[in-house]
A and B are shown apart, each in its own frame.
Chain A
Amino acid sequence: MAQVSTQEAAIRPVEVAQEIKPERHISWWHLVVYIFLAIFTITSIGPLIFSFISSFKSMSEVLIFPPTFFPRTWITTNYATILSNPLFLRWILNAFIYAAAAAALNVLFSGMAGYALSRLNFPGKNIIFLTTLGVMMIPATVTLIPKFLIVNNLHLVNTYGALILPAMAQPFSVFIMVQFMKGLPKELEESARIDGASIWRTFYQIILPQVKPALTAVAIITFQGAWNDFLWPLVALGTQDMYTLPLGLFFFKSAHFTEYNLLIASSMFNTIPMLILFFIFQRYFIEGAVSSGVKG
């Protein structure tokens, strides 16, 4: 507690008690807080809720002025049109393949790399770790065009490989894994080694289960990044049937430019899966995003 000298405490005990109480219960402050809570709740989810409800409106109703909140007639043809488009479904599939593969591989490979960097001793360990830190600060701009040219030379343009390969092991994920694994007690490995377990078994059966939160966080961040990725698929993919969802939406937008009802409905396919994932794994989204800055 605060260091209040005994003299001061003797002199002002009564005044202190009286001073603090009213300050903490001033209702106008709490009122301000509640008002802000309400405002920010509306601004945070208002656009999404409004769009979702409006995705059931017809094209003419979606842009009438003044706007209506609930549709006068609820129609589902927007979604029917979208879902009957095989290309659209292909886009969803591609996005899912990219996101799931990137997440699974990144968890595995970053876990392996993180394990090596945090629990094993070998020459070059520090260089690699420092390089990891350094590389995290390079903006994506610098590597965009070279990445394309590299992928082009590997004849991987317009394939899943172009998407998944650069994403299958990411410096930031390795960094998270190292931070989490560093904190585990050394005894884990020593007892495993004594019992004759190979390094792989030690990694897979002993260390990995200990860092499940980190693994989940990495999986979620990677999935989210890949699912929402626009620029790299734009650069690396060429034919419509390989588009991921954000890229497909871009194309969809130019095809149906004024049909806002369709556009809003189509955006839901990108948002709703992420929202579902978010509600289930909230903690990991939030903790994963923070661990980069705060712990580092």
Chain B
Amino acid sequence: MATEPVRSSLVSAPSLTAEGRQRLMRGRPKRLGRDTLTAYLFLTPYLFVLLVFLIFASLYGLGLSLFKVDIGFTTPEFVGFQNYQRLFEQLFTNPGLSLFWISMVNILKFVIVVVIGQTILALILALILQTTLFGRGIFRTIFYIPAITSSVATALIFLWLYNPDGLVNYLLSLVHISGPDWLNDPFWALPAIMLLNIWTTAASFMIYFMAALQDLPKEVLEASAIDGASRFQSFRYITVPLLRPTIFLVVALGTIGSFQMFDQAKFMTNGGPLNSTLTPLLEIYNAAFQDSHFGLAAAMSVLLFIVIFIVTIIQRRLIEPSTS
């Protein structure tokens, strides 16, 4: 159907009923009015979700951060910027004691390692698949499987694998490395979760690179090969620059996702040991649902959002300077 040549609908219509002719004769304005009402009827469920759960919720969150709220104990009290003041005071006087700022430091480490790791791994996976001559579809399926698992199921599996007597330490022992008790070690717990995340998310970003690699103009690569460029040269000077938009996309999406890591931190270690795996979203959750400080939690959410926003803009400047 999409390839049929454009023809006047009057000519191609199978039958022009009397009713149809009447509709045509009525002209545009009435149809526009009917269109508008119907359009909004069609949009109603979506608009409900959009307005209530997204827009109103965002504004509500903003406003909530200016209040001191706990459900069921006291009435909400407007405190202006006090929540923010409290957080910044903690930052400047004793950040080591502030759970929120500890979580920010943790997540910064996490984001840097995970985003770099998963971007590189995703690119490698895509390149491998691109170069594979046979069974590309099968391998693509296999490589993509980690991406469809749930965070909880893989957390359970890796809880077992990271056990001091588990597979990971066994493999290390084969090369004479005595592995630590990963999830109970304040130094190794976060890296253990980093590895788990890279494993899952590299698979989902791999396909972005695959799609981009397939869209690369073949003539340019062939020209460079004829002109004598080695594989590495043509990769570095042609492929990578052409992949910039995709790299930015993968890095930005990866950053936004990693900043909000929650599931593994809650499920595997609950922020421990010694708060080494405490993430901002986990701290927000605790502040709201355990300590009942909804206003403070909302303020933390806003701060986290601002940090994510700034980081994404910086990445845009760095990766795609020409288009920003």
Instruction: Fill in one digit per residue for B219-246: 1 if any A CB lies within 8 Å of its CB, else 0.
Output: 1001101111011000000000000001
A263 touches B151 (CB 8 A): no
Residue of B nearest to A69 (CB): B167
- In the complex, chain A residues 168-199 whose Cβ is within 8 Å of any chain B Cβ: 168-171, 174, 183-185, 187-188, 190-191, 193-196, 199
Taken together as a complex, chains A and B put the C-alpha atoms of A20 and B221 apart, in Å, by 13
Taken together as a complex, chains A and B put the C-alpha atoms of A227 and B152 apart, in Å, by 11
Q: Is B314 engaged at the interface, CB distance under 8 Å to the other chain?
A: no
Count of A-B residue pairs with CB < 8 Å: 318
- In the complex, chain A residues 233-247 whose Cβ is within 8 Å of any chain B Cβ: 234-235, 245-246
Taken together as a complex, chains A and B put the C-alpha atoms of A173 and B80 apart, in Å, by 37
Contact A270/B305 with A112-B42, A169-B46, A230-B267 known, Cβ cut-off 8 Å: no
Contact A196/B23 with A67-B170, A188-B1, A294-B208 known, Cβ cut-off 8 Å: yes
Q: Is B322 engaged at the interface, CB distance under 8 Å to the other chain?
A: no
Taken together as a complex, chains A and B put the C-alpha atoms of A29 and B231 apart, in Å, by 10
Residues from chain B with Cβ under 8 Å of A234 in the complex: 266, 285
Q: Is B182 engaged at the interface, CB distance under 8 Å to the other chain?
A: no
Instruction: Fill in one digit per residue for B241-266: 1 if any A CB lies within 8 Å of its CB, else 0.
Output: 00000100110010010011011001
Q: Is B79 engaged at the interface, CB distance under 8 Å to the other chain?
A: no
B141 touches A282 (CB 8 A): yes
Give chain B's interface residue range (CB within 8 Å of chain A): 35 or more
Taken together as a complex, chains A and B put the C-alpha atoms of A264 and B159 apart, in Å, by 9
Instruction: Fill in one digit per residue for A233-273: 1 if any B CB lies within 8 Å of its CB, else 0.
Output: 01100000000011001100100000010011011101100
User: How many of A's residues come within 8 Å of B, CB to CB?
Assistant: 113
Q: Tell me how far the C-beta of A242 lies from the nearest C-beta in chain B, rounded to whole angstroms.
A: 16
Q: Is B288 engaged at the interface, CB distance under 8 Å to the other chain?
A: yes
Residues from chain B with Cβ under 8 Å of A195 in the complex: 13-15, 17, 20
Name, among B32, B38, B204, B225, the residue most crowded by chain A CB atoms within 10 Å (CB to CB). Answer: B38
Q: Is A90 engaged at the interface, CB distance under 8 Å to the other chain?
A: no
Instruction: Fill in one digit per residue for A135-171: 1 if any B CB lies within 8 Å of its CB, else 0.
Output: 1011111111111111010000000000001101111
- Among A47, A139, A264, A290, point to the contact of B308 (Cβ < 8 A): A139
Residues from chain A with Cβ under 8 Å of B302 in the complex: 142
Residue of B nearest to A198 (CB): B38
Q: Is B29 engaged at the interface, CB distance under 8 Å to the other chain?
A: no
B39 touches A48 (CB 8 A): no
Closest 5 CB pairs of A and B: A2-B223, A228-B150, A113-B46, A146-B57, A190-B9
28 contacting pairs across A/B (C-beta < 8 A): A2-B222, A20-B225, A37-B139, A41-B142, A63-B166, A67-B166, A115-B42, A122-B35, A128-B50, A139-B256, A141-B260, A141-B304, A142-B61, A146-B57, A152-B71, A174-B46, A185-B2, A187-B6, A195-B13, A199-B35, A228-B153, A230-B150, A234-B266, A249-B153, A263-B156, A264-B156, A266-B156, A289-B207
Given A37-B132, A187-B4, A260-B159, 16 additional A-B pairs, CB 8 A: A1-B222, A23-B231, A36-B124, A48-B149, A63-B163, A63-B165, A109-B46, A112-B42, A168-B49, A185-B6, A194-B23, A203-B42, A231-B262, A246-B152, A270-B150, A282-B144
B binding-site residues for A, Cβ under 8 Å: 1-2, 4, 6-7, 9-10, 12-17, 19-20, 23-24, 32, 34-36, 38-40, 42-43, 45-50, 52-58, 60-61, 64, 71, 124-125, 128, 131-132, 139-154, 156-161, 163, 165-167, 169-170, 173, 199, 203-204, 207-208, 211-212, 219, 222-223, 225-228, 230-231, 246, 249-250, 253, 256, 259-260, 262-263, 266-267, 280-281, 284-285, 288-289, 294, 297-298, 301-302, 304-305, 308
A binding-site residues for B, Cβ under 8 Å: 1-4, 16, 19-20, 23, 29, 33, 36-37, 40-41, 43-45, 47-48, 50-51, 54, 62-67, 105, 109-110, 112-113, 115-117, 120-123, 125, 128, 131-132, 135, 137-150, 152, 165-166, 168-171, 174, 183-185, 187-188, 190-191, 193-196, 199-200, 203, 210, 224, 227-228, 230-231, 234-235, 245-246, 249-250, 253, 260, 263-264, 266-268, 270-271, 274-275, 278-279, 282, 285-286, 289-290, 293-294
